[in-house]
Amino acid sequence: MDNEDKKYPKELYNRGISTSTSPQTVNQLQQYLSKISAGYPGVEIQTFSFSGQWANIPRQIFEEIARNARINNVEVTIHAPERDFQLPATDERGNIRKDNIKQMAYKTSVILESAGIMARIYGEPIKVNMHAGDLTLTEWDKDFEKRLKDELLSNYEFRKSFAEKLYRLGYITSEQYNRLVSNNVDMETLEKNIPSWAFAKQEAAYINLNGNYEYMGVVMPGRYLTGAVERAIRLSAVDEIYKENEKVWMNIFNDIDRNLYSIKKRLLDNYQLISYFGYTSTDQEKIGEFLYNLKTYRSFLEKVKEYIDAIWDNIKDIADPNLREAARNKISFYKQHFEDSLKRIENYENEISKFAKEVVQNNSSPAYRDYFMNKMFDFVNDMILSIEYTNHLLSQLKNTVFSEFPIPIVKPYQEVAIKTAPEVIAEGIRMLIEREISKNPEGWYKDFDKYLSYINIEESYPGAPATRPDIWKKLLNNIREEVKKVIEKYPELKNEIEKKYGSVDEFVKERIGATLDVGHIKMFEKYGYTKEDILKWVEEIKPEIKHLHVHETQAGEDTHLPLGMGWDDVIASELEKIRDILENKKVTIVHEPGGYYVNQFHAIYGNEYYNLIAGAGPYNIYGNIINQFNTMLPYGGVQVIPDYIQYTRYSPYSISIFSQLPIDLGGTGKRQETFSGEKVD
């Protein structure tokens, strides 16, 4: 591109572009007015937080923005908060619990309700942008990924083992497995049939029990590889997840075996049982002790049932339909028998408790003593049979989990996030619909086109959920499926949608899409990925793009420089790659300058700000990045700065900063320069 093209754009491909408000203030009306007074044809309103900011914006603010936007023909969109609005519903410890999901769903419903308030005045549904999540627990490394892929291509036994683990854990189908273990496998086959997280240098692991996802920490094959390149190419996150899965099930069944042994010792000691009920039937203390042991057995069965329920819940995540159905059929047998056993134990407890109360009243009656003694022997025999059968079922269940179906109780972060985020959105929409029903019980469904907004899911920073297109597309499809389930629970709403859109499928396909942030995806540079890698991913997600965020980045950082300031070829090429969908005006383009560009530059940089003023660059005399410039990557990862990155005059890493911006952008210098830092001829 020539210098003229690098200037701060007023238009992009003959289209006026929107801009975003400052997220620091609750007074979004003032922010909105300042943007349209500057001539922007569109404004995206946003705040940093939900609890401290968005929730405190009065309804009238949304209404006034919508009125003004309608009168002035301004396109208005919403950016959901980021700091305390994480769609996967992770808490501060990284866990994802049912309560977290409910809380996040409520926040989602409030954001969507704000959009609905505006839409009724604005006249059409509002586009709402939401981050897929900002917790960066996956670590990427281009060199590691390349070596792993090369080994998979060249080493058949390794590829077969790798594919088998993915299949047995439920992350690929039998068709994908067969493609991977065929003789003619190329790079395209690998990338199309293996989820991208399987190529990561590091991935976080979660245990799924009782609908809650407990953060286990990270599985990082890279930590075993120092000085051992040969091993580096034969270990992966898949191997680590598989081992952790076996380890967790092993621990669970060890606990089960220990507890069952203790119960057998208490309840299957025939001498004890006979002495309790055969010769001392009037001893209520003995009966109470037996009743206590019976309750212990019931508690044991309840705990085992929880694990079986966990297996049942995790079966739903198995990708291959045949494997999923076979596992479901097998586990349903155990599930039914344990539920039946629990019911029998509860009945026994009730009956024995009733007998215990009658002992005092009827103890002098020989007939009752005989009846009671016979009944106790029946209970004893039933207990013996029940425990022996439980023991048999558990041995079969153990064999099933370790041999036939290694049910994935341990899951990679990426797969967890794209499962819980759709649940959050769907539950948020359900809450929103219920509020609409309470406000307008008769005609609530007729106005659906206003309050059911467009939802666009934005990829966040590399390592966060859905930053690679295959996972991103899975997330979008999962959201559509979950939202469909909600809509189908309301027949009146379903009928109205079908009248206008033909089907619920068409409705959710139109309303749920992707927001491409050209700067965020460019941040993969710091993991060693190239322009070609980034453009390939843009091409893959292109059919889903309905919203675009444009800004500049430097050295793989989320600098949010104004477009043109840190210009290099990657972002220019990204925009060119999707030029056709930008020209037809179906995609909203939002310019997002901020971050390092805001007035509190020094607050963001800290001491680094003063180094910049003094003319410091990111490198010391030895060519290394000095500490105050070094990116903090998770778990000791190393930043990579590609050679092709250009440090312009307006880069955070250059020797001069924003005081030298052109005057029309607030600069103080008199020199007229292009955004490449070159003087104008």
**Is pLDDT of 17 > 80?**
yes
Q: What is the pLDDT of residue 681?
A: 38
Angle between helical axes of 59-71 and 28-37 (0-180°, round to 10): 20
Angle between helical axes of 284-315 and 270-277 (0-180°, round to 10): 130
SS3 479: helix
Are residues 432 and 576 both part of a single domain? yes
Q: What is the pLDDT of residue 642?
A: 42
Last residue of a domain, one of 600, 635, 650: 600
Q: Residue 605 falls within a domain, yes or no?
A: no
With bands split at pLDDT 50, 70 and 90, how would you rate the model's confidence at 567?
low
* Residues 149, 582: Cα–Cα separation, whole Å: 34
Longest CA–CA separation in the chain, Å: 118
Are residues 379 and 458 both part of a single domain? no
Are residues 92 and 204 both part of a single domain? no
Do 145 and 469 touch, CB atoms closer than 8 A? no
* First vs last C-alpha separation in the chain: 16
Average pLDDT over residues 480-492: 97
Token reading at 577: 């790659």
- CA dihedral 432→434→436→437, nearest 10 degrees, is 170
Are residues 255 and 270 both part of a single domain? yes
* Residues 483, 446: Cα–Cα separation, whole Å: 18
How many CA within 13 A on the CB side of residue 399? 8
Give the phi and the psi of residue 230 in degrees, each rounded to 5. Answer: -60, -40
How many C-beta atoms surround the C-beta of residue 669 within 10 A? 12
Do 61 and 29 touch, CB atoms closer than 8 A? yes
Average pLDDT over residues 104-129: 96
- CA dihedral 340→346→374→385, nearest 10 degrees, is 40
Are residues 160 and 127 both part of a single domain? no
With bands split at pLDDT 50, 70 and 90, how would you rate the model's confidence at 283?
low
**Residue 390 burial by Cβ neighbours in a 10 Å radius (0-12, 13-18, 19+):** buried
Q: What is the pLDDT of residue 25?
A: 82
How many H-runs (helices) and E-runs (strands) does the chain carry?
24, 15
Are residues 435 and 501 both part of a single domain? yes
Range of the domain at 192: 142-234
Beta bridge partners, 589, equal 548
Q: Residue 619 falls within a domain, yes or no?
A: no
Average of per-residue pLDDT values in the chain: 81
Provide the H-helix boundaries in 526-598: 531-541, 569-577, 579-583
pLDDT tens digits, 606-638 = 333 334 334 434 444 454 544 544 443 344 444
**Is pLDDT of 155 > 60?**
yes
Q: What is the pLDDT of residue 165?
A: 94
Q: What is the pLDDT of residue 551?
A: 85
How many CA within 13 A on the CB side of residue 655? 2
Q: What is the pLDDT of residue 223?
A: 45
Q: Out of 379-393, 547-561, 652-666, pick the least confident.
A: 652-666
Give the phi and the psi of residue 66 in degrees, each rounded to 5. Answer: -65, -40
Q: What single-letter DSSP state applies at residue 84? A: T
**Total domain count, the chain:** 3
Last residue of a domain, one of 234, 258, 282: 234
Are residues 134 and 148 both part of a single domain? no
Q: What is the pLDDT of residue 5?
A: 41
Q: What is the pTM of this model?
A: 0.83
* Residues 462, 303: Cα–Cα separation, whole Å: 39
Provide the H-helix boundaries in 316-446: 321-362, 366-399, 413-439
Q: Out of 32-46, 178-192, 516-530, pick the least confident.
A: 32-46
The larger pLDDT score, comparing residue 259 to residue 280, is at 259
CATH number at residue 96: 3.20.20.150
With bands split at pLDDT 50, 70 and 90, how would you rate the model's confidence at 536?
very high
Q: Residue 678 falls within a domain, yes or no?
A: no
SS3 72: coil
Q: Residue 644 falls within a domain, yes or no?
A: no
Give the phi and the psi of residue 216 in degrees, each rounded to 5. Answer: -90, -25
Are residues 453 and 562 both part of a single domain? yes
Are residues 338 and 432 both part of a single domain? no
**Is pLDDT of 4 > 60?**
no
pLDDT tens digits, 180-190 = 999 889 999 99
Instruction: Kindly give the pairing relationship between strand 203-209 and strand 212-219.
Output: antiparallel
Residue 609 C-alpha from the chain's centroid:
34
**Is pLDDT of 557 > 80?**
no
Q: Residue 669 falls within a domain, yes or no?
A: no
CA angle 410, 415, 421 (to 5 degrees): 120
Are residues 101 and 180 both part of a single domain? no
* Residues 68, 168: Cα–Cα separation, whole Å: 56
Q: What is the pLDDT of residue 659?
A: 43
**Is pLDDT of 654 > 60?**
no
Q: What is the pLDDT of residue 77?
A: 97
Q: Residue 319 falls within a domain, yes or no?
A: yes
Last residue of a domain, one of 195, 215, 234: 234
With bands split at pLDDT 50, 70 and 90, how would you rate the model's confidence at 647?
very low
Residue 50 C-alpha from the chain's centroid:
19
